[in-house]
Amino acid sequence: MERPLDSLEASLAELKSLPLFADLTRGEMNQLCVGARACYTQHRETIFRAGEDAAFFGVVLSGAYKLTKSSPNGEDVIVHFAVPGDVIAAFIMPLPNSKFPITATAMGPSRFLKLPRENFLNYWKPCPDLILSIQSALALRMQQLQDEKMMLKAPLAKKLAILLISLLEKSNASDQEQGLIPLQLTRKEIADNLGASVESIIRIMSDWSKKGVLETTDRQIRILKTDKLIQEMSVE
Amino acid sequence: MERPLDSLEASLAELKSLPLFADLTRGEMNQLCVGARACYTQHRETIFRAGEDAAFFGVVLSGAYKLTKSSPNGEDVIVHFAVPGDVIAAFIMPLPNSKFPITATAMGPSRFLKLPRENFLNYWKPCPDLILSIQSALALRMQQLQDEKMMLKAPLAKKLAILLISLLEKSNASDQEQGLIPLQLTRKEIADNLGASVESIIRIMSDWSKKGVLETTDRQIRILKTDKLIQEMSVE
DNA sequence: CGCCTCTTTGAGCTCAATCAAGGTGTGTGG
DNA sequence: CCACACACCTTGATTGAGCTCAAAGAGGCG
Protein backbone atom coordinates (compact mmCIF):
# COMPACT_ATOMS: atom_id res chain seq x y z
CA MET A 1 0.00 0.00 0.00
CA GLU A 2 2.84 2.42 0.73
CA ARG A 3 5.80 2.50 -1.59
CA PRO A 4 9.38 3.43 -0.82
CA LEU A 5 10.94 6.76 -1.55
CA ASP A 6 12.12 6.02 -5.05
CA SER A 7 8.64 6.68 -6.39
CA LEU A 8 8.41 9.83 -4.36
CA GLU A 9 10.62 11.71 -6.79
CA ALA A 10 8.11 11.12 -9.54
CA SER A 11 5.22 12.07 -7.29
CA LEU A 12 6.84 15.36 -6.40
CA ALA A 13 7.25 16.11 -10.07
CA GLU A 14 3.53 15.49 -10.47
CA LEU A 15 2.82 17.87 -7.62
CA LYS A 16 4.92 20.55 -9.29
CA SER A 17 2.59 20.43 -12.26
CA LEU A 18 -0.44 21.34 -10.14
CA PRO A 19 -1.43 25.00 -10.09
CA LEU A 20 -1.29 24.96 -6.30
CA PHE A 21 2.45 24.38 -6.26
CA ALA A 22 3.45 26.00 -9.52
CA ASP A 23 5.12 28.99 -7.88
CA LEU A 24 7.30 27.01 -5.50
CA THR A 25 10.99 26.24 -5.95
CA ARG A 26 12.39 22.76 -5.83
CA GLY A 27 13.84 23.37 -2.40
CA GLU A 28 10.60 24.64 -0.99
CA MET A 29 8.79 21.62 -2.36
CA ASN A 30 11.21 19.25 -0.71
CA GLN A 31 10.74 21.03 2.56
CA LEU A 32 6.96 20.92 2.32
CA CYS A 33 6.99 17.23 1.48
CA VAL A 34 9.42 15.89 4.08
CA GLY A 35 8.28 12.47 5.16
CA ALA A 36 5.73 12.21 2.36
CA ARG A 37 4.60 8.80 1.18
CA ALA A 38 3.01 7.86 -2.09
CA CYS A 39 0.03 5.72 -1.24
CA TYR A 40 -1.41 3.22 -3.73
CA THR A 41 -4.97 2.14 -3.16
CA GLN A 42 -7.14 -0.50 -4.79
CA HIS A 43 -10.79 -0.07 -5.62
CA ARG A 44 -12.83 0.29 -2.43
CA GLU A 45 -9.74 0.56 -0.22
CA THR A 46 -9.80 3.46 2.24
CA ILE A 47 -7.00 5.87 3.07
CA PHE A 48 -8.68 6.92 6.29
CA ARG A 49 -11.97 6.47 8.09
CA ALA A 50 -14.20 8.94 9.87
CA GLY A 51 -13.30 9.16 13.53
CA GLU A 52 -9.65 8.21 13.15
CA ASP A 53 -6.95 10.57 14.35
CA ALA A 54 -6.17 13.09 11.64
CA ALA A 55 -2.43 12.50 11.62
CA PHE A 56 -1.96 13.37 7.97
CA PHE A 57 -3.39 15.17 4.98
CA GLY A 58 -2.53 14.94 1.32
CA VAL A 59 -3.13 15.36 -2.36
CA VAL A 60 -4.85 13.08 -4.86
CA LEU A 61 -2.39 12.14 -7.60
CA SER A 62 -4.47 9.90 -9.84
CA GLY A 63 -7.75 8.03 -9.93
CA ALA A 64 -10.45 9.30 -7.61
CA TYR A 65 -11.66 9.04 -4.03
CA LYS A 66 -15.12 9.44 -2.61
CA LEU A 67 -15.40 11.26 0.68
CA THR A 68 -18.26 9.78 2.65
CA LYS A 69 -20.01 10.20 5.94
CA SER A 70 -22.42 7.71 7.35
CA SER A 71 -25.46 8.89 9.22
CA PRO A 72 -26.40 7.23 12.52
CA ASN A 73 -28.94 4.99 10.76
CA GLY A 74 -26.43 3.48 8.37
CA GLU A 75 -27.14 5.69 5.36
CA ASP A 76 -23.96 6.51 3.50
CA VAL A 77 -23.70 9.94 1.97
CA ILE A 78 -21.02 10.98 -0.48
CA VAL A 79 -19.91 14.46 0.40
CA HIS A 80 -17.37 15.01 -2.37
CA PHE A 81 -15.70 13.29 -5.28
CA ALA A 82 -11.97 14.02 -5.00
CA VAL A 83 -10.08 14.04 -8.28
CA PRO A 84 -6.36 14.50 -9.06
CA GLY A 85 -5.05 17.77 -7.67
CA ASP A 86 -7.60 17.92 -4.87
CA VAL A 87 -6.15 18.55 -1.43
CA ILE A 88 -7.77 16.40 1.21
CA ALA A 89 -8.10 17.05 4.93
CA ALA A 90 -5.77 20.06 4.94
CA PHE A 91 -8.63 22.10 6.35
CA ILE A 92 -8.80 20.25 9.58
CA MET A 93 -5.06 20.29 10.23
CA PRO A 94 -5.22 23.54 12.25
CA LEU A 95 -7.98 22.17 14.49
CA PRO A 96 -6.55 20.86 17.77
CA ASN A 97 -6.42 17.06 18.13
CA SER A 98 -8.79 16.63 15.26
CA LYS A 99 -10.35 13.46 13.95
CA PHE A 100 -11.21 12.88 10.30
CA PRO A 101 -14.83 13.88 9.86
CA ILE A 102 -15.23 11.70 6.79
CA THR A 103 -14.03 8.47 5.20
CA ALA A 104 -11.98 8.50 1.98
CA THR A 105 -12.43 5.48 -0.27
CA ALA A 106 -10.74 4.80 -3.60
CA MET A 107 -12.94 4.50 -6.69
CA GLY A 108 -10.82 2.25 -8.83
CA PRO A 109 -7.03 2.09 -8.44
CA SER A 110 -5.82 5.47 -7.25
CA ARG A 111 -2.78 7.20 -5.84
CA PHE A 112 -2.53 9.65 -2.98
CA LEU A 113 0.40 11.62 -1.61
CA LYS A 114 0.25 11.37 2.14
CA LEU A 115 1.85 14.13 4.18
CA PRO A 116 2.39 14.17 7.94
CA ARG A 117 0.35 16.63 9.95
CA GLU A 118 3.52 18.22 11.32
CA ASN A 119 4.42 19.37 7.84
CA PHE A 120 1.31 21.44 7.71
CA LEU A 121 1.89 23.05 11.06
CA ASN A 122 5.64 23.53 10.63
CA TYR A 123 6.23 24.18 6.96
CA TRP A 124 2.94 24.89 5.21
CA LYS A 125 1.53 27.25 7.79
CA PRO A 126 4.21 29.93 7.40
CA CYS A 127 3.56 30.22 3.63
CA PRO A 128 0.74 32.75 3.32
CA ASP A 129 0.27 32.19 -0.40
CA LEU A 130 0.10 28.43 -0.06
CA ILE A 131 -2.34 28.60 2.83
CA LEU A 132 -4.54 31.04 1.00
CA SER A 133 -4.52 28.80 -2.07
CA ILE A 134 -5.78 26.01 0.09
CA GLN A 135 -8.30 28.31 1.65
CA SER A 136 -9.49 29.25 -1.83
CA ALA A 137 -9.97 25.60 -2.66
CA LEU A 138 -11.91 25.17 0.55
CA ALA A 139 -14.01 28.22 -0.25
CA LEU A 140 -14.87 26.77 -3.65
CA ARG A 141 -15.86 23.46 -2.15
CA MET A 142 -17.98 25.29 0.36
CA GLN A 143 -19.68 27.27 -2.37
CA GLN A 144 -20.42 24.01 -4.09
CA LEU A 145 -22.04 22.67 -0.94
CA GLN A 146 -24.04 25.86 -0.67
CA ASP A 147 -25.15 25.57 -4.26
CA GLU A 148 -26.30 22.05 -3.57
CA LYS A 149 -28.24 23.25 -0.59
CA MET A 150 -29.83 25.86 -2.80
CA MET A 151 -31.03 23.12 -5.14
CA LEU A 152 -32.65 21.21 -2.31
CA LYS A 153 -36.16 21.76 -3.58
CA ALA A 154 -35.37 21.18 -7.25
CA PRO A 155 -36.69 17.99 -8.86
CA LEU A 156 -34.28 15.07 -8.81
CA ALA A 157 -33.71 15.15 -12.56
CA LYS A 158 -32.44 18.69 -12.29
CA LYS A 159 -30.06 17.84 -9.47
CA LEU A 160 -28.73 14.93 -11.46
CA ALA A 161 -28.22 17.10 -14.54
CA ILE A 162 -26.33 19.65 -12.47
CA LEU A 163 -24.14 16.96 -10.96
CA LEU A 164 -23.26 15.44 -14.32
CA ILE A 165 -22.46 18.79 -15.89
CA SER A 166 -20.29 19.83 -12.96
CA LEU A 167 -18.41 16.53 -13.07
CA LEU A 168 -17.96 16.89 -16.79
CA GLU A 169 -16.35 20.26 -16.20
CA LYS A 170 -13.64 18.51 -14.22
CA SER A 171 -12.55 16.53 -17.27
CA ASN A 172 -9.53 17.51 -19.28
CA ALA A 173 -10.30 19.39 -22.47
CA SER A 174 -10.31 16.46 -24.91
CA ASP A 175 -12.44 14.21 -22.72
CA GLN A 176 -14.82 17.04 -22.11
CA GLU A 177 -15.11 17.45 -25.85
CA GLN A 178 -16.37 13.90 -26.04
CA GLY A 179 -18.66 14.23 -23.05
CA LEU A 180 -16.70 11.75 -20.95
CA ILE A 181 -17.15 12.02 -17.22
CA PRO A 182 -13.73 11.59 -15.58
CA LEU A 183 -14.97 9.14 -12.98
CA GLN A 184 -16.22 5.59 -12.84
CA LEU A 185 -19.55 6.07 -11.13
CA THR A 186 -22.11 3.52 -10.03
CA ARG A 187 -25.77 4.52 -9.82
CA LYS A 188 -25.56 3.89 -6.10
CA GLU A 189 -22.75 6.40 -5.76
CA ILE A 190 -24.71 8.99 -7.66
CA ALA A 191 -27.70 8.31 -5.43
CA ASP A 192 -25.55 8.58 -2.31
CA ASN A 193 -24.22 11.89 -3.50
CA LEU A 194 -27.62 13.36 -4.27
CA GLY A 195 -29.35 11.91 -1.25
CA ALA A 196 -31.68 9.93 -3.47
CA SER A 197 -32.51 6.25 -3.93
CA VAL A 198 -30.74 4.09 -6.51
CA GLU A 199 -34.00 3.27 -8.23
CA SER A 200 -34.88 6.88 -8.83
CA ILE A 201 -31.48 7.58 -10.35
CA ILE A 202 -31.79 4.54 -12.59
CA ARG A 203 -35.23 5.59 -13.78
CA ILE A 204 -34.03 9.04 -14.76
CA MET A 205 -30.84 7.82 -16.40
CA SER A 206 -32.41 5.02 -18.39
CA ASP A 207 -34.98 7.52 -19.58
CA TRP A 208 -32.16 9.77 -20.76
CA SER A 209 -30.41 6.79 -22.32
CA LYS A 210 -33.52 6.01 -24.36
CA LYS A 211 -33.67 9.61 -25.49
CA GLY A 212 -30.01 9.49 -26.49
CA VAL A 213 -28.94 12.15 -24.00
CA LEU A 214 -26.21 9.96 -22.55
CA GLU A 215 -24.83 6.42 -22.60
CA THR A 216 -23.07 4.23 -20.05
CA THR A 217 -20.50 1.57 -20.73
CA ASP A 218 -19.20 -0.16 -17.65
CA ARG A 219 -19.73 2.71 -15.22
CA GLN A 220 -18.22 5.17 -17.67
CA ILE A 221 -20.81 7.81 -18.44
CA ARG A 222 -20.67 9.69 -21.71
CA ILE A 223 -22.90 12.69 -22.25
CA LEU A 224 -24.08 12.89 -25.82
CA LYS A 225 -26.36 15.90 -25.71
CA THR A 226 -24.97 18.40 -23.26
CA ASP A 227 -27.51 20.97 -24.39
CA LYS A 228 -30.39 18.67 -23.43
CA LEU A 229 -28.96 18.35 -19.95
CA ILE A 230 -28.44 22.06 -19.60
CA GLN A 231 -32.01 22.47 -20.70
CA GLU A 232 -33.01 19.99 -18.02
CA MET A 233 -31.20 22.12 -15.48
CA SER A 234 -33.27 25.19 -16.22
CA VAL A 235 -36.63 23.43 -16.23
CA GLU A 236 -38.90 24.92 -13.57
CA MET B 1 -26.02 53.17 8.37
CA GLU B 2 -22.32 53.81 8.84
CA ARG B 3 -21.17 55.59 11.94
CA PRO B 4 -18.12 57.76 12.45
CA LEU B 5 -14.94 56.60 14.09
CA ASP B 6 -15.84 57.48 17.65
CA SER B 7 -17.84 54.29 17.94
CA LEU B 8 -15.00 52.32 16.43
CA GLU B 9 -13.04 52.36 19.65
CA ALA B 10 -15.83 50.52 21.39
CA SER B 11 -16.19 48.07 18.52
CA LEU B 12 -12.51 47.22 18.65
CA ALA B 13 -12.83 46.49 22.32
CA GLU B 14 -15.65 44.11 21.47
CA LEU B 15 -13.46 42.40 18.92
CA LYS B 16 -10.73 41.94 21.49
CA SER B 17 -13.13 39.90 23.57
CA LEU B 18 -13.64 37.35 20.79
CA PRO B 19 -11.53 34.21 20.94
CA LEU B 20 -10.33 34.86 17.39
CA PHE B 21 -8.47 38.00 18.43
CA ALA B 22 -7.68 37.20 22.02
CA ASP B 23 -3.97 36.69 21.39
CA LEU B 24 -3.37 39.94 19.55
CA THR B 25 -1.85 43.11 21.00
CA ARG B 26 -3.54 46.47 20.84
CA GLY B 27 -1.17 47.62 18.11
CA GLU B 28 -1.76 44.57 15.97
CA MET B 29 -5.49 45.04 16.31
CA ASN B 30 -5.27 48.65 15.16
CA GLN B 31 -3.25 47.58 12.17
CA LEU B 32 -5.71 44.84 11.23
CA CYS B 33 -8.64 47.19 11.52
CA VAL B 34 -7.36 50.22 9.64
CA GLY B 35 -10.25 51.82 7.78
CA ALA B 36 -12.83 49.74 9.60
CA ARG B 37 -16.38 50.99 9.91
CA ALA B 38 -19.02 49.96 12.36
CA CYS B 39 -22.13 49.32 10.37
CA TYR B 40 -25.60 49.57 11.93
CA THR B 41 -28.38 47.75 10.14
CA GLN B 42 -32.12 47.68 10.63
CA HIS B 43 -34.26 44.58 10.36
CA ARG B 44 -34.26 43.30 6.78
CA GLU B 45 -31.53 45.71 5.70
CA THR B 46 -28.67 44.07 3.75
CA ILE B 47 -24.96 44.65 4.18
CA PHE B 48 -24.21 43.19 0.77
CA ARG B 49 -25.97 41.32 -2.00
CA ALA B 50 -24.95 38.27 -4.00
CA GLY B 51 -23.14 39.29 -7.14
CA GLU B 52 -21.74 42.56 -5.81
CA ASP B 53 -18.01 43.13 -5.78
CA ALA B 54 -16.52 41.67 -2.63
CA ALA B 55 -14.71 44.82 -1.56
CA PHE B 56 -14.92 44.08 2.14
CA PHE B 57 -15.36 41.43 4.76
CA GLY B 58 -16.13 41.68 8.45
CA VAL B 59 -17.30 40.45 11.79
CA VAL B 60 -20.78 40.33 13.29
CA LEU B 61 -20.81 42.38 16.50
CA SER B 62 -24.40 42.02 17.65
CA GLY B 63 -27.79 40.84 16.49
CA ALA B 64 -27.78 38.34 13.64
CA TYR B 65 -27.61 38.13 9.88
CA LYS B 66 -28.99 35.52 7.54
CA LEU B 67 -26.80 34.57 4.60
CA THR B 68 -29.01 33.72 1.66
CA LYS B 69 -28.74 32.63 -1.91
CA SER B 70 -31.61 32.72 -4.34
CA SER B 71 -32.01 29.96 -6.86
CA PRO B 72 -32.78 30.84 -10.51
CA ASN B 73 -36.50 30.22 -9.92
CA GLY B 74 -36.82 32.71 -7.12
CA GLU B 75 -36.55 30.30 -4.20
CA ASP B 76 -34.60 31.82 -1.34
CA VAL B 77 -32.38 29.53 0.65
CA ILE B 78 -30.75 30.46 3.93
CA VAL B 79 -27.24 29.09 3.94
CA HIS B 80 -26.18 30.20 7.40
CA PHE B 81 -27.31 32.17 10.41
CA ALA B 82 -24.44 34.45 11.38
CA VAL B 83 -24.29 35.38 15.05
CA PRO B 84 -21.96 37.69 17.00
CA GLY B 85 -18.32 36.68 16.54
CA ASP B 86 -18.89 35.11 13.14
CA VAL B 87 -16.49 36.23 10.44
CA ILE B 88 -18.26 36.85 7.15
CA ALA B 89 -16.84 36.70 3.66
CA ALA B 90 -13.22 36.42 4.76
CA PHE B 91 -13.00 33.16 2.85
CA ILE B 92 -13.48 34.73 -0.51
CA MET B 93 -10.98 37.53 0.03
CA PRO B 94 -8.08 35.55 -1.47
CA LEU B 95 -10.07 34.72 -4.60
CA PRO B 96 -9.18 37.09 -7.45
CA ASN B 97 -11.81 39.76 -8.29
CA SER B 98 -14.40 37.90 -6.34
CA LYS B 99 -18.08 38.70 -6.02
CA PHE B 100 -20.13 37.93 -2.94
CA PRO B 101 -21.73 34.53 -3.50
CA ILE B 102 -24.51 35.27 -1.03
CA THR B 103 -26.62 38.08 0.38
CA ALA B 104 -26.36 39.10 4.03
CA THR B 105 -29.54 40.46 5.60
CA ALA B 106 -30.04 41.68 9.15
CA MET B 107 -32.52 39.82 11.34
CA GLY B 108 -33.58 42.57 13.71
CA PRO B 109 -31.28 45.52 14.47
CA SER B 110 -27.68 44.35 14.20
CA ARG B 111 -24.14 45.62 14.04
CA PHE B 112 -21.33 44.58 11.76
CA LEU B 113 -17.68 45.63 11.66
CA LYS B 114 -16.81 46.22 8.02
CA LEU B 115 -13.18 45.87 6.99
CA PRO B 116 -11.69 46.75 3.61
CA ARG B 117 -10.52 43.89 1.45
CA GLU B 118 -7.00 45.38 1.34
CA ASN B 119 -6.66 44.79 5.06
CA PHE B 120 -7.07 41.09 4.53
CA LEU B 121 -4.51 40.93 1.77
CA ASN B 122 -2.02 43.32 3.39
CA TYR B 123 -2.31 42.81 7.11
CA TRP B 124 -4.30 39.66 7.85
CA LYS B 125 -2.64 37.41 5.32
CA PRO B 126 0.84 37.57 6.89
CA CYS B 127 -0.50 36.36 10.26
CA PRO B 128 -0.45 32.56 10.06
CA ASP B 129 -2.26 32.07 13.33
CA LEU B 130 -5.02 34.47 12.44
CA ILE B 131 -5.49 32.98 8.98
CA LEU B 132 -5.58 29.49 10.39
CA SER B 133 -8.15 30.56 12.97
CA ILE B 134 -10.31 31.77 10.16
CA GLN B 135 -9.68 28.60 8.26
CA SER B 136 -10.77 26.63 11.29
CA ALA B 137 -14.00 28.59 11.40
CA LEU B 138 -14.49 27.88 7.73
CA ALA B 139 -13.79 24.20 8.27
CA LEU B 140 -16.41 24.06 11.01
CA ARG B 141 -18.98 25.74 8.81
CA MET B 142 -18.15 23.30 6.08
CA GLN B 143 -18.57 20.38 8.41
CA GLN B 144 -21.94 21.76 9.35
CA LEU B 145 -22.94 21.89 5.69
CA GLN B 146 -21.71 18.34 5.27
CA ASP B 147 -23.71 17.22 8.27
CA GLU B 148 -26.78 18.83 6.78
CA LYS B 149 -26.15 17.01 3.55
CA MET B 150 -25.89 13.78 5.50
CA MET B 151 -29.34 14.40 6.95
CA LEU B 152 -30.86 14.88 3.50
CA LYS B 153 -32.98 11.75 3.72
CA ALA B 154 -34.04 12.22 7.30
CA PRO B 155 -37.67 13.16 7.96
CA LEU B 156 -38.34 16.86 8.26
CA ALA B 157 -39.11 16.70 11.97
CA LYS B 158 -35.66 15.31 12.61
CA LYS B 159 -33.96 18.02 10.58
CA LEU B 160 -35.92 20.65 12.45
CA ALA B 161 -34.97 19.15 15.81
CA ILE B 162 -31.32 19.13 14.81
CA LEU B 163 -31.49 22.75 13.69
CA LEU B 164 -33.12 23.92 16.90
CA ILE B 165 -30.66 22.07 19.10
CA SER B 166 -27.67 23.38 17.16
CA LEU B 167 -29.00 26.93 17.38
CA LEU B 168 -29.62 26.50 21.08
CA GLU B 169 -25.98 25.53 21.48
CA LYS B 170 -25.00 28.94 20.21
CA SER B 171 -26.75 30.63 23.13
CA ASN B 172 -24.83 31.89 26.08
CA ALA B 173 -24.93 29.64 29.11
CA SER B 174 -27.82 31.26 31.00
CA ASP B 175 -30.08 31.48 27.95
CA GLN B 176 -29.26 27.93 27.06
CA GLU B 177 -30.28 26.94 30.53
CA GLN B 178 -33.71 28.35 29.80
CA GLY B 179 -33.92 26.87 26.34
CA LEU B 180 -33.90 30.25 24.63
CA ILE B 181 -32.82 30.25 21.01
CA PRO B 182 -30.56 33.27 20.48
CA LEU B 183 -32.29 34.38 17.28
CA GLN B 184 -35.62 35.84 16.26
CA LEU B 185 -36.77 33.32 13.71
CA THR B 186 -39.86 33.29 11.53
CA ARG B 187 -41.26 29.96 10.33
CA LYS B 188 -40.44 31.04 6.81
CA GLU B 189 -36.79 31.50 7.73
CA ILE B 190 -36.65 28.08 9.28
CA ALA B 191 -38.28 26.65 6.15
CA ASP B 192 -35.81 28.48 3.92
CA ASN B 193 -32.94 27.10 5.91
CA LEU B 194 -34.16 23.51 5.81
CA GLY B 195 -35.35 23.65 2.22
CA ALA B 196 -38.89 22.94 3.30
CA SER B 197 -42.21 24.74 2.98
CA VAL B 198 -43.53 27.10 5.66
CA GLU B 199 -46.64 25.02 6.11
CA SER B 200 -44.72 21.88 6.93
CA ILE B 201 -42.63 23.69 9.52
CA ILE B 202 -45.75 25.16 11.08
CA ARG B 203 -47.42 21.78 11.26
CA ILE B 204 -44.48 20.22 13.06
CA MET B 205 -43.95 23.12 15.42
CA SER B 206 -47.56 23.55 16.40
CA ASP B 207 -47.65 19.84 17.07
CA TRP B 208 -44.66 20.24 19.38
CA SER B 209 -46.30 23.29 20.96
CA LYS B 210 -49.36 21.25 21.80
CA LYS B 211 -47.17 18.59 23.34
CA GLY B 212 -45.34 21.21 25.38
CA VAL B 213 -41.97 20.57 23.77
CA LEU B 214 -41.49 24.24 22.94
CA GLU B 215 -43.26 27.59 22.91
CA THR B 216 -43.01 30.67 20.75
CA THR B 217 -43.60 34.24 21.83
CA ASP B 218 -43.13 36.79 19.10
CA ARG B 219 -40.57 34.84 17.05
CA GLN B 220 -38.63 33.97 20.16
CA ILE B 221 -38.51 30.20 20.45
CA ARG B 222 -38.06 28.58 23.82
CA ILE B 223 -37.38 24.90 24.07
CA LEU B 224 -39.05 23.38 27.08
CA LYS B 225 -38.19 19.74 26.70
CA THR B 226 -34.76 19.44 25.20
CA ASP B 227 -34.77 15.72 25.84
CA LYS B 228 -37.91 15.26 23.71
CA LEU B 229 -36.19 17.02 20.84
CA ILE B 230 -33.03 14.98 21.21
CA GLN B 231 -35.23 11.92 21.19
CA GLU B 232 -36.83 13.23 18.01
CA MET B 233 -33.37 13.50 16.48
CA SER B 234 -32.60 9.86 16.98
CA VAL B 235 -35.90 8.58 15.64
CA GLU B 236 -34.87 6.97 12.40
C1' DC C 1 -58.05 51.82 7.32
C1' DG C 2 -55.64 49.46 4.03
C1' DC C 3 -51.25 47.17 3.41
C1' DC C 4 -47.84 44.02 4.64
C1' DT C 5 -45.76 40.25 7.03
C1' DC C 6 -46.41 36.33 9.54
C1' DT C 7 -49.14 32.40 11.10
C1' DT C 8 -52.55 28.82 10.73
C1' DT C 9 -55.55 24.99 8.95
C1' DG C 10 -57.58 22.00 5.50
C1' DA C 11 -57.77 19.40 1.08
C1' DG C 12 -55.72 17.25 -2.60
C1' DC C 13 -51.90 15.77 -5.26
C1' DT C 14 -47.25 14.40 -6.68
C1' DC C 15 -42.67 13.07 -6.62
C1' DA C 16 -39.73 9.99 -5.15
C1' DA C 17 -39.19 6.39 -1.52
C1' DT C 18 -39.98 1.69 -0.44
C1' DC C 19 -40.84 -3.00 -1.37
C1' DA C 20 -40.47 -6.89 -4.27
C1' DA C 21 -38.48 -9.63 -7.72
C1' DG C 22 -35.38 -10.79 -11.26
C1' DG C 23 -31.14 -10.20 -14.17
C1' DT C 24 -25.97 -9.75 -14.96
C1' DG C 25 -21.12 -10.00 -14.08
C1' DT C 26 -17.15 -10.98 -10.96
C1' DG C 27 -14.68 -13.04 -7.47
C1' DT C 28 -13.87 -17.03 -4.39
C1' DG C 29 -13.69 -21.13 -2.02
C1' DG C 30 -14.99 -26.05 -2.03
C1' DC D 1 -15.25 -26.19 -12.53
C1' DC D 2 -19.30 -25.29 -10.18
C1' DA D 3 -21.89 -22.89 -6.82
C1' DC D 4 -22.45 -19.33 -4.00
C1' DA D 5 -21.94 -14.78 -2.41
C1' DC D 6 -21.81 -10.18 -3.60
C1' DA D 7 -22.15 -5.88 -6.01
C1' DC D 8 -24.57 -3.69 -9.36
C1' DC D 9 -28.48 -2.78 -12.59
C1' DT D 10 -33.41 -2.86 -13.84
C1' DT D 11 -38.55 -2.70 -13.76
C1' DG D 12 -43.10 -2.58 -11.76
C1' DA D 13 -46.49 -1.66 -8.04
C1' DT D 14 -47.66 0.70 -3.99
C1' DT D 15 -47.41 4.28 -0.60
C1' DG D 16 -46.74 8.29 1.98
C1' DA D 17 -44.26 12.58 3.46
C1' DG D 18 -44.34 16.83 2.30
C1' DC D 19 -45.64 20.13 -1.37
C1' DT D 20 -49.04 23.23 -3.47
C1' DC D 21 -53.13 25.72 -3.40
C1' DA D 22 -56.68 28.18 -1.09
C1' DA D 23 -58.60 30.86 2.40
C1' DA D 24 -58.48 33.35 6.51
C1' DG D 25 -57.03 35.45 11.11
C1' DA D 26 -53.66 38.33 13.77
C1' DG D 27 -50.61 41.92 14.75
C1' DG D 28 -47.95 46.17 13.28
C1' DC D 29 -47.47 50.51 10.75
C1' DG D 30 -47.75 54.65 7.77
pTM comes to: 0.92
- pLDDT score at A4: 47
Q: Cβ-count burial of B197 within 10 angstroms (0-12 exposed, 13-18 middle, 19+ buried)? A: middle
Cross-chain Cβ contact B138/A133 below 8 Å: no
Q: Is the pLDDT of residue B213 over 60?
A: yes
Closest-CA residue to B102 (of B40, B47, B152): B47
**What average pLDDT score do residues A178-206 get?**
95
Percent share of chain A, pLDDT over 90:
70
- The overall average pLDDT reported for chain B is 90
* Helix (H) or strand (E) segment spanning residue B194: helix B187-194
- pLDDT score at A11: 82
Q: How confident is the model at residue A73 (pLDDT cuts 50, 70, 90)?
A: confident
**What average pLDDT score do residues B18-46 get?**
89
Q: At what angle do helices A156-168 and A187-194 cross, to 10 degrees?
A: 110
Q: Amino acid identity of B147?
A: D
SS3 for B196?
coil
Q: Is the pLDDT of residue B6 over 70?
A: no
Q: Is the pLDDT of residue B109 over 60?
A: yes
**What average pLDDT score do residues A175-201 get?**
93
Tell me: the pLDDT tens digits for B40-61? 999 999 999 999 999 999 999 9
Q: How confident is the model at residue A236 (pLDDT cuts 50, 70, 90)?
A: low
Q: Reading across the β-sheet that carries B110-116, which strands appear in turn?
A: B37-41, B110-116, B56-62, B87-88
**What average pLDDT score do residues B28-36 get?**
90
Q: Which nucleotides of C are covered by protein (CB under 7 A)?
A: 5-11, 15-20
Q: Is the pLDDT of residue B208 over 90?
A: yes
In Å, what is the CA distance from B115 to each residue of B8, B87, B118, B129, B223? 12, 11, 8, 19, 36
Q: How confident is the model at residue A1 (pLDDT cuts 50, 70, 90)?
A: very low
How close A117 gets to chain B, by Cα (Å)?
14
- Indicate the DSSP class of residue B53: B
Q: Is the pLDDT of residue A5 over 60?
A: no
**What average pLDDT score do residues A97-111 get?**
93
Q: At what angle do helices B156-168 and B187-194 cross, to 10 degrees?
A: 110
Closest-CA residue to B168 (of B178, B160, B157, B176): B176
Which stretch of A83-92, A156-165, A175-184, B162-171 has the lowest confidence by average pLDDT?
A: A175-184
- pLDDT score at B1: 47
Tell me: the pLDDT tens digits for A110-164? 999 999 999 999 999 999 999 999 999 999 999 999 999 999 999 999 999 999 9
Tell me: the pLDDT tens digits for B137-191? 999 999 999 999 999 999 999 999 999 999 999 988 877 778 899 999 999 999 9
Chain A within 8 Å of B19 (Cβ-Cβ)? no
Cβ contact B186 with chain C strand, < 7 A:
yes
Q: Is the pLDDT of residue B8 over 70?
A: yes
How far apart CA A96 and CA A106 sit, in angstroms, is 27
Number of Cβ within 10 Å of residue A154's Cβ equals 21
CA B142 to C1' D15 (Å) is 36
Cross-chain Cβ contact B77/A102 below 8 Å: no
How far apart CA B103 and CA B69 sit, in angstroms, is 6
Chain B within 8 Å of A19 (Cβ-Cβ)? no
- pLDDT score at A222: 94
Interacting residues of B5 by C-beta distance below 8 A, sequence separation 6+ = none
Q: How far is CA B158 from the centre of its chain?
A: 21
Chain B within 8 Å of A117 (Cβ-Cβ)? no
